[in-house]
Amino acid sequence: MNREIEGIYALWKREIIRFYRSKSRVIGSLGMPFFFLAILGTGLNNVFSVPSGGNYLQFIAPGIVAMVLMFGSIFAGVIVLMDRQFGFLKETLVAPISRLSVVLGKALGGATTAVMQGAIIMGIAVLLGAEMQLGGMLLVLPFMFLVSLMFVSLGIAIASMLEDMHGFQLIVNFLLMPMFFLSGALFPLSSAPEFLRIASFLDPLTYGVNGLRFLLLGHSDIGFFACLAVISFFTAVFVSLAIFLFNRIEE
C-alpha cells in the first residue's frame, strides 16, 4: 500500500515538474482566457446587462476560470497520448504498481496543475477589475480541484482510446468548445432559449461554472450544492471510465 502511495506521489510530482518546466505551454494556454476577459469582458461591459446585477466582466470571470480548468485538465489527461508517442508510458505500465495508482497519480498531478492555471487566471480577473467575494474563497480551491479531477479523468479516458495525437483537434472543436459555450460561461442560462438550456444541463462544465459563480459572486442559476452533487457524480463516472479504459492498454 505504502508503495502504491509512493508511486502515486512520484507520478504527481512528475506532472508538477513538467508543468513548471513548460512555461511557454502555460503562457500559451492562458492566452485565450486572458483575451476573453480583457477584450470580451471589458468590451461588452456596457452593452450587456446581467439580470442578477454586476458587470459583464465579473459575470464571465468564473466561467473563464472554469474554462481554464477544463482545457488545462483535459490537456493534462491527454498527455497520456504523448507519453505513449514518446515511449514513457511503457515505463509506467511495467512498473510494479497498479494501473489504478498510475491513473490516480496522473489525475491528481494533472488536476493540481489545472488548479494552478485557474488560480492564475482568477488573479488576472481580479486585476482587471472583477470584484469577487472573499467568503467563498476557502471552498474555491477544493471545488476547482474537483472540477479539474473530473476533466483530467475524462482526458485520460479519451487518451486511452486514441492511438495518437491526430484526433486531439477533433476533441477540442467538437467536445471542448461546445461544452464551453453551453456551460453558461458567457451568458446567463436563465435568459437562454429552452433547447439551449436543456443541452446545457447535460454539460458537466455547466455545474463547474455555476458552482464557481456561486462561490465567487454569491449567486448562480443552479444552487451550489446541486452543482457539487452533479460534479461529484460526473467525477466518479469519469474516474471509473479512465481506470477501465487505461487498464485495457496493452504495450
Partner 1 sequence: MGKISGNREKKAINVRSLGKSYGKLKAVDSVSFSIEEGEIFGLLGPNGAGKTTLISMLVTMRKPSSGSAEVNGFDVAGQPGAVRKSIGIVFQDPSLDEELTAIENLEMHAALYGVPGAERKGRIGGVLKLVGLEKNSKMQVKKFSGGMKRRLEIARGLVHHPRILFLDEPTLGLDPQTRAGIWEHIRELNKREGITIILTTHYMDEADSVCGKVAIIDHGRIIASGAPAQLKDELGGDIISIKCSASEKCVDGLRKLKWVKSAVRHNGFISVRVQKGEEKIPKILFLMEKNGVSVESVSLRKPSLDDVFLHYTGRTIREEEAKPLEAMRLRRKARTGRK
**Interacting residue ranges for partner 1, rule: CB under 8 A:** 3, 6-7, 9-11, 13-14, 17-18, 21-22, 86-97, 250-251
Q: Roughly what angle, to the nearest 10 degrees, separates helices 56-85 and 2-21?
A: 110
Q: How far is the CB of 148 from partner 1 (least distance, A)?
A: 21
Identify which of residues 116 and 192 has a Cβ nearer to partner 1 in the complex. Answer: 116
Q: How far is the CB of 119 from partner 1 (least distance, A)?
A: 22
Identify which of residues 207 and 246 has a Cβ nearer to partner 1 in the complex. Answer: 246
Identify which of residues 20 and 225 has a Cβ nearer to partner 1 in the complex. Answer: 20
Q: How far is the CB of 9 from partner 1 (least distance, A)?
A: 7
Angle (nearest 5°) at CA 8 between 81 and 19: 55
Q: How far is the CB of 109 from partner 1 (least distance, A)?
A: 12
Q: Identify whether the C-beta of residue 212 lies closer than 8 Å to the C-beta of residue 144.
A: yes
Among all chains, which residue has been given the C-alpha cell 510530482? 13
Q: How far is the CB of 22 from partner 1 (least distance, A)?
A: 7
Identify which of residues 13 and 219 has a Cβ nearer to partner 1 in the complex. Answer: 13
Identify which of residues 85 and 173 has a Cβ nearer to partner 1 in the complex. Answer: 85
Question: 131-147 in b/e burial notation, b at 16+ Cβ within 10 A?
Answer: ebeeebeeebeebbbbb
Identify which of residues 138 and 161 has a Cβ nearer to partner 1 in the complex. Answer: 161
Nearest in space to 152 (alpha carbons), one of 46, 238, 60: 238
Q: How far is the CB of 97 from partner 1 (least distance, A)?
A: 6
